[in-house]
Structure 1
Amino acid sequence: METIAKLQAKKNKEKITMLTAYAASLAAVFNKTAVDMLLVGDSLGTVFQGQKDTLAVTLDEMIYHATVVRRGAPDKFIVVDLPFMSYQVNPEKSLSNAGKIMKRTGANAVKLEGASELVLESVRRLTAIGIPVVGHLGFTPQSVNGLSGYRVQGKDRAAARKIQAEAKALEKAGAFMLVLEMLPARLAKEITRALKIPTIGIGAGADCDGQVLVCDDMLGLYPRAPRFVKRYAQLDTVISQAADTYITEVKAQKFPGAEHSF
């Protein structure tokens, strides 16, 4: 299993890979691969639950999915998202909720979005008691309404400077890694060079220290995906064809055969 020290040592030497996972079955498949990290993201709200955004995902749901992913992937470094309103109230609530995730799931770290003073104080206090934290800047899905939808962030100079300052603040507060989502590639490159901690990009260009993709997007389980996604398989077609073949064989009385019967 990777450790924080091993992951941080990859900066400027080896690209870090991360994929999301929400179920034990797929986590078990990923456990056999060389992927460095798994993220149990609150993206499960859109991917697994079919919701329009991540805002309705609860802490208990995150704990449930993280627990089953850990069962499927006992050998992987697992990061778990703190969901909307589980850490934005006060640092005490952040500590309590992050502690529940770590104690109940066997996760290795938690992830928070943004860099408000409340978030920075939560990062400081979490890391002070030994809970590793991954930051998340750029497009932050839990702020989708305030950001007026799914938009690239940091496109003008003022916005870019703000994100750069937030990245430095998160590093100083104790975050050991930073996810950069939907940023201009040049800005992500500048942030990556300015930080001592690794950056993980998603729609942020090739110069981040690593990359993360939502597993369902990467596997081609949806007919449409964001521009920054590359489909490495087209499993929606494979699955539908398998289901159609099953249906045909059952109706034609070809399945089950003698070899499938007791």
Structure 2
Amino acid sequence: MSAQRQETVRRLAAPDIAERKGKTPVVCLTAYTAPMAELLDEACDLLLVGDSVGMVVHGLPNTVGVTLEMMILHGQAVMRGSRRAMVVIDMPFGSYEGSAQEAYANAARLMKETGAQAVKVESGPTVADTIDYLVKRGVPVMGHVGL
């Protein structure tokens, strides 16, 4: 039997996305599963594992019941299904609104257990210090300010 050789593909990371600011548009779509990530990978720069997975996949009435464990499970699946896109995982409700130290522990766990390149938080004035704390410790953060 001959060993199959897979082409090495470099995954995009936060510096690659930052370098494109004001130049090339960035394509970002949501994925919750390995098959969807595999389909979207070549066409997307970012794959977001959103906490909307609670409603879309698990039938929850809103995102409040989404757990860190759910985000890790879906983040792992998206990482397995993708090779090129930067993967960003939502930090679920309650995982970053307390102390900055707790937010860091949860963000580090998300990134360690999934291999994702960044986390996403719903941002605003009350979260700015936490985002600063995370970024200063090497956690790439995508902020979402709502509609």
Within the candidate set 79, 87, 100, 1:70 is matched to 79
Alignment of 1:94-113 (within 5 A): 94-113=103-122
What is the match of residue 157 of structure 1? Answer: none
What amino acid does structure 2 have at the position aligned with 1:126?
L
Within the candidate set 7, 12, 26, 1:2 is matched to 12
What is the CA distance between 1:15 and its match in structure 2? 1.3
What is the match of residue 185 of structure 1? Answer: none
What is the DSSP-based 3-state SS (H/G/I as helix, E as strand, rest coil) of the residue aligned with 1:112?
A: strand
What is the CA distance between 1:76 and its match in structure 2? 1.7
What is the match of residue 59 of structure 2? Answer: 50
Q: Distance in 2 between matches of 1:36 and 1:75?
A: 8
What is the match of residue 23 of structure 2? Answer: 13
- Report the RMSD for the aligned CA atoms in angstroms: 1.2
Within the candidate set 23, 28, 40, 2:33 is matched to 23
What is the match of residue 45 of structure 2? Answer: 36
For residues 18-70 of structure 1, the C-alpha deviation after alignment (integer angstroms, 9 at most, x for no partner) is: 01111111111122x22111000001011111222111000000001001110
What is the CA distance between 1:10 and its match in structure 2? 2.0
What is the CA distance between 1:111 and its match in structure 2? 0.6
What is the DSSP-based 3-state SS (H/G/I as helix, E as strand, rest coil) of the residue aligned with 1:131?
A: coil
Q: Distance in 2 between matches of 1:6 and 1:99?
A: 21
What is the CA distance between 1:8 and its match in structure 2? 1.8
Q: Distance in 2 between matches of 1:75 and 1:67?
A: 15
Q: Distance in 2 between matches of 1:74 and 1:10?
A: 20
Q: Distance in 2 between matches of 1:86 and 1:65?
A: 16
What is the DSSP-based 3-state SS (H/G/I as helix, E as strand, rest coil) of the residue aligned with 1:95?
A: helix
What amino acid does structure 1 have at the position aligned with 2:60?
Q
What is the match of residue 90 of structure 2? Answer: 81
Q: Percent identity?
A: 39
Unaligned segments of structure 1, at least 5 residues = 139-181, 183-262
Verify the 8 A CA contact 2:119 2:139 in the aligned structure 1. Answer: yes
Number of aligned residue pairs: give it. 137
Verify the 8 A CA contact 2:51 2:63 in the aligned structure 1. Answer: yes
What amino acid does structure 1 have at the position aligned with 2:27?
T
What is the match of residue 209 of structure 1? Answer: none
Alignment of 1:100-179 (within 5 A): 100-117=109-126, 119-138=127-146
What amino acid does structure 2 have at the position aligned with 1:59?
L
Unaligned segments of structure 2, at least 5 residues = 1-10
Which of structures 1 and 2 has the bigger CA Rg? 1
Verify the 8 A CA contact 2:118 2:142 in the aligned structure 1. Answer: yes
Verify the 8 A CA contact 2:97 2:103 in the aligned structure 1. Answer: yes
For residues 140-173 of structure 1, the C-alpha deviation after alignment (integer angstroms, 9 at most, x for no partner) is: xxxxxxxxxxxxxxxxxxxxxxxxxxxxxxxxxx
What TM-score do the two structures reach when normalised by structure 1? 0.50
What is the CA distance between 1:114 and its match in structure 2? 2.3
What is the CA distance between 1:5 and its match in structure 2? 2.3
